[in-house]
Amino acid sequence: RSHTLAVLPGDGVGPEVTRAALTVLDAAQERFGFSIERTEVPLGADHYLSTGELLPNDTVTALAHHDAILFGAIGSPRVAPGILERGIILALRGAMRQAINLRPVRLYPGVPTPISGLTPDRCDLVIVRENTEGAYVAQGSTVHRGTPAQVAVQESVNTWYAVERAVDFAYRLASVRRKRLTLCHKTNVLVEAGKLWTAVMESVGERYPDVETDYVHVDAMCMHLPVSPERFDVVVTDNLFGDIVTDLGAVLQGGLGVAASGNLNIDGTGTSMFEPIHGSAPDIAGRGWANPAGACLSLSLLLGHLGEGEAAAAVEAATAAVLAGMPAMAGKGMGASTSELGERIARAVTTG
């Protein structure tokens, strides 16, 4: 088996955690006997400041010809906020038609969680976030700008096409897990969008009669998720609500350093991208204080996506094993540097 991988280390701690994940990938290839041809793509602050380029067209074309993308993080205090994030990350999600944002929320044994009494057996769910529309279409208008009469309208677009795509994906995922799908929305207030989401849930549900469904308002979700995460298996939600509740999910899991994600293309018109959910963490960059677990767990998702299921499982198990021995999930308190942790995880992959 052979695959092609584009590696986008990015800025700040992005290259540090990506390097650690690639060490783990070396070990996985060695043990499971597949090959991955890697192309490093220098997108991010340095590239932008030296060339003025964010996401050149030929880079997009090149990425489209890879089987997967491993992404670190982008963002720099040297560039005005939003330029790199919108110009590279959001642009990539659009260009690669990454319809789904997949966020497993899993608490691994031994990881300190701020939610008291939460145990790993109670925290194993996946949040499926629609990744292309909702309030994130960036459409709207402002009148009387700069005056006390200013009015800003920010639109949320919900198409049957994109919602059905996300909901169908979520049903399919639930049908191979614990067969429970929860719609998270605010249908009582956002009634137009709410009716569409509810109707899509019902319509698609006819194809998945063995999946049980329920509904939770997004505000109630912020209470249920920390208090009783065991009631969720797969949660499907829109772009904005998904952005918010997945960060809450990361809190349950022990913090930003351990949370992984996939931006999935599911119709073959682009390339899926896997990334830790954290940013470039300029406050700790260059010190070896970034936890590489989120990047390694993202690598595990990537391997599963490429059909390397055994390697995916081994990387997840190895990361969980190393996490279990760490006194803290970030900074000096981790007890080892980013690269040392990467080597430990790689060794755990090798020894099984």
Interface mask (CB under 6 A) for ligand NAI, residues 56-95, using x and -? -----------------xxx---------x---x------
d(C-alpha 185, C-alpha 191), whole Å: 10
| Shortest reach from residue 289's CB to ligand NAI, in Å | 6
Q: How big is the site for ligand NAI, counted in residues (CB under 6 A)? A: 21
> Considering the rule CB under 6 A, would residue 314 count as an interface residue with ligand NAI?
no
d(C-alpha 236, C-alpha 186), whole Å: 13
- Residue from 212, 230, 243, 340 in contact with Mg ion (CB under 5 A): 243
> Considering the rule CB under 6 A, would residue 202 count as an interface residue with ligand NAI?
no
> Considering the rule CB under 6 A, would residue 257 count as an interface residue with ligand NAI?
yes
Point out which span in 65-73, 116-124, 186-194, 240-248 binds Mg ion (CB under 5 A): 240-248
> Considering the rule CB under 5 A, would residue 230 count as an interface residue with Mg ion?
no
Site for ligand NAI in 273-312 (CB under 6 A): 275, 278-284, 290-291, 294
Instruction: Note whether 312 and 301 are within 8 A (CB).
Output: yes
| Shortest reach from residue 247's CB to Mg ion, in Å | 5
Q: In this complex, which beta carbon is closest to ligand NAI, that of residue 194 or of residue 279?
A: 279
d(C-alpha 182, C-alpha 180), whole Å: 7
Catalytic residues: 136, 186, 219, 243, 247
Taking the alpha carbons at both ends of the chain, their separation in whole angstroms is: 21
d(C-alpha 201, C-alpha 208), whole Å: 10
| Shortest reach from residue 275's CB to ligand NAI, in Å | 6
Pick from ligand NAI, Mg ion, none: which does 243 bind, CB < 5 to 8 A by kind? Mg ion
Neighbouring-strand partners of residue 261: 275
| Shortest reach from residue 44's CB to Mg ion, in Å | 18
Please tell me the total number of residues recorded for the chain in this structure: 352
> Considering the rule CB under 5 A, would residue 343 count as an interface residue with Mg ion?
no
| Shortest reach from residue 238's CB to Mg ion, in Å | 14
| Shortest reach from residue 251's CB to Mg ion, in Å | 12
Pick from ligand NAI, Mg ion, none: which does 17 bind, CB < 5 to 8 A by kind? ligand NAI
Q: Residue 6 CB: number of other CB atoms within 10 A?
A: 23
Pick from ligand NAI, Mg ion, none: which does 25 bind, CB < 5 to 8 A by kind? none
> Considering the rule CB under 6 A, would residue 13 count as an interface residue with ligand NAI?
yes
> Considering the rule CB under 6 A, would residue 243 count as an interface residue with ligand NAI?
no
- Residue from 17, 22, 204, 236 in contact with ligand NAI (CB under 6 A): 17
> Considering the rule CB under 6 A, would residue 196 count as an interface residue with ligand NAI?
no
In terms of Cα–Cα distance, which of 135, 54, 129, 126 is closest to 95?
54
User: What are the tokens at 207?
Assistant: 């194809």
Residues that bind ligand NAI (CB under 6 A): 13, 17, 73-75, 85, 89, 256-257, 275, 278-284, 290-291, 294, 330
